[in-house]
Each structure stands twice: as C-alpha cells, then as structure tokens.
Amino acid sequence: MKINLHKTFYYILLICVFQSCAVFSQSLRVSKEPHSAKIYTSDITNFYKAFDLAINDFVNAKRIFKKEYFYKGTKGLKDFYKTKIKDIDKFAKFVIRHKGFYKSIRKDISNIDDLKRQIYSNFESFKSIYPNAVFPDVYFVVGKFSSNGTISKRGLLIGTEILCRTENTNTKNWNKDILRISMLRKHIPITVSHD
C-alpha cells in the first residue's frame, strides 16, 4: 500500500492545530459545520477605498485610513489592529511608502471568491477525519506585513497582503524585504487551514 507522506503530514498538522485551537473554542465564534463558518472580505474593499483617497491626499492619509478603513472595519479587523497594526500613523506611512506594491496586488487580493471553495473543501476534509472539529469565521484584512495569519476571539485573521503573489505577478519594483516575505496567493487556503 502506497502512503502519500505529504498528505498524511498535512492532516496530522491540521489535527494538531485544531486540537490546540480547541482551548479557544469556548470564547471563539465557531461552527460545527464547515460551511457555516463565515468568510469576510469587506475589509479588503474598504482598504482600497481608503487607499485611493489617501494616495491623492498624503497629508490626510492617517485620517482617511482611520475613517474609511479602521472605523468601517469588521470586528476581525479591529482585533487585527489591536494585536498587529497598533498605530494608524505608522500604518498610513507604510502604505503610502509602498503604494506601488499595494497597487500591484490589488487585482489579486480584491476578489478571492475563487479560493473560498477550496477553503470550505479543506474544512470538509478535516471534518471527515476529525468529526469533533469546529470551524471559526475567517476575516481577510490588509495590514503592513506584520502577519499573514493569527487568531482572535472573533476567528481567523488573515493578512492578505502577504499572500498576494501569483506566477504572473510583476515583482520587479518590489522592495526586497516585501519580496522575501510575500507568499503565493494559492497558499491562502493552506494558511486558513493552518491558522
């Protein structure tokens, strides 16, 4: 009998992760059914609305991001702000400094509907081998390269700007540190399952 070691390792890793998350499950909003977990992408939309305004008004970028992105954000973004971003002024300066990067990834992260099916499929696969698994809501946010994934009492918080590269992305003008840290967009479902 041939054993697929990669797949076996992946499922063992998932079991370990979900068992460790069980500690949080009493305060974490979770669902017993994989497709009942909600996937939120509105923070990406709000980010780019704020971004368009901020790159045309550098002086007021902090105020714009505060009003149009953070105040309008999901509960998941608010948790991500508290744990990973922490400072609107530094966030606004980072985004403006790397505006070319954020422009270049816009098309690839603005619509991740094509990946939702794989995320739910991964949840289903895990449920089939671990029937007691619970599934948190997933929030896709845009940060300043501080985290590609973390957890809060709201659910999973995915820093989408890190998971942005595709095989066709033109990275010629990317900052070398951003290029080093960035991951392929197709890893989003794996990151969600891992976190």
Kindly list the domain boundaries of the chain, sorted by start residue.
5-194
Give the pLDDT score at 87. Answer: 92
Give me the pLDDT at residue 26, please: 47
Name the residue type at position 29: R
Does residue 14 have a pLDDT over 70? no
Q: Strand, coil or helix: what is 184?
A: strand
Q: Is the pLDDT of residue 9 over 80?
A: no
Cβ 149 vs Cβ 195: under 8 Å = yes
DSSP 166: -
Phi-psi region of 74 (alpha: psi -120 to 50; beta: other; left: phi over 0): beta
The 10 Å CB-count burial string (b at 16+, else e) for 26-60 is eebbbeeebeebebbbebbebbbebbebbbeeeee
Segment 95-103 mean pLDDT: 89
Q: Residue 6 — very low, low, confident or very high, per pLDDT cuts 50/70/90? A: low
pLDDT at 29 (0 to 100): 65
Q: What is the pLDDT of residue 167?
A: 80
Structure tokens at 81: 């702000």
pLDDT at 76 over 60: yes
